Amino acid sequence: MHHGGELRAGLAGLPPVDRRAARQAAGWLLRLNSPRATEADVRACDAWRASKAEHEHAWQRAQRVNARLGLIPAGLGMASLNRPAQASRRAALKTLAALAAAGPLAWAAWRADPFDWTADLRTGVGERRSVALGEGSTLELNTGSAVDIRFDGARRLLRLREGEIAVRAVADAGPSARPFIVRAPQGDIVAHEARFCVRLLRGACGVSVQEGALRLDPARGPSLALAAGMRASLSAGGASEPLAADPHAVDWLRGVLYADAAKLGAFLAELGRYRPGLLRCDPAVAGLRISGAFQLRDTDAVLAALPATLPVAVRYRTPYWVTVGPRAAGA
């Protein structure tokens, strides 16, 4: 349809919802966003979500809307989106050039947390963040990730909205020995003392355990115990069979992307998570194999090094629009 269309189509895959469910989800979102929201509201919303698959679908969409809105700093969003109707005339601006030329680099205006009832943590593309959770547990957020934190008397709850996190959960010292729960759209990951990773990308949720043990409580289907060294995925259909975890699943904690004869297409899709803008792989070279340990700190350097080992060319249309394709004949 337009330039963003294909990109978005690639990330889509949410089931459609009807207007009624959408309206109810909107109502719940407003209720929970209100400063007067109570734990009872949260529970009532959970019950509403659980009562019908369509409700949960609508809720997931609502979360996605929230995440989009949450990215926009207040002044900027209002000024851009609330433009008067007559501004819809042609504005012949060379946007990319103007963007590249605009202003200095500080960035302080991220808007305030849209959820009053949570502490919201977010990382930008290419950013990593380490957070101490107060009771001794720690949380690392990988690139482009967002979580809400809600600890109360009964549980230590992290709501993973998107992206990838590594958790080191310590046993709760309090009398109620609160469980540590990571809540993904597909279900809960429950720990007491464990080191584990959860990855929520394009609607798929993968869990791997480095130490200790977890219990997976999928939104649907039976629970699954997951021991150290194992991984499983959660989907709308339930928890998958456990498999041996990839020992490189936590390499990102050291800023490394590891590939062992990976297909170039998949490798670039992964690398693209750490890089703002578009990184496209021409299907003609997507099947080439690549191996190595790559530094995520400088993705341009990784791209620049590709032609040395593979028959590819890296083309920059802009710094944010890069295509890896076959080398031109005779080049």
Binding site for other proteins (CB under 8 A): 1-2, 4, 7-9, 11-12, 14, 17, 19, 22-23, 25-27, 29-30, 58, 61-62, 64-65, 68-69, 71-83, 85, 87-93, 95-96, 98-100, 102-109, 111-112, 114, 124-126, 276-277, 319-320
40 vs 108, beta carbon nearer other proteins = 108
317 vs 327, beta carbon nearer other proteins = 317
Q: For the CB of residue 113, give the shortest distance to other proteins in the complex, in Å.
A: 9
**Would you call 321 helix, strand, or coil by DSSP?**
strand
99 vs 204, beta carbon nearer other proteins = 99
From 163, 160, 139, 140, select the one nearest 253 (Cα to Cα).
140
Q: For the CB of residue 17, give the shortest distance to other proteins in the complex, in Å.
A: 7
d(CA 327, CA 331): 7
**Would you call 292 helix, strand, or coil by DSSP?**
strand
81 vs 177, beta carbon nearer other proteins = 81
Residue at 236: amino acid letter: A
Where b means 16+ CB within 10 Å and e means fewer, 282-300 reads: beebbebebeeebebeebe
255 vs 319, beta carbon nearer other proteins = 319
From 201, 223, 205, select the one nearest 214 (Cα to Cα).
223
Q: For the CB of residue 75, give the shortest distance to other proteins in the complex, in Å.
A: 7
Kindly give the pairing relationship between strand 243-244 and strand 321-326.
unpaired
Q: For the CB of residue 77, give the shortest distance to other proteins in the complex, in Å.
A: 4
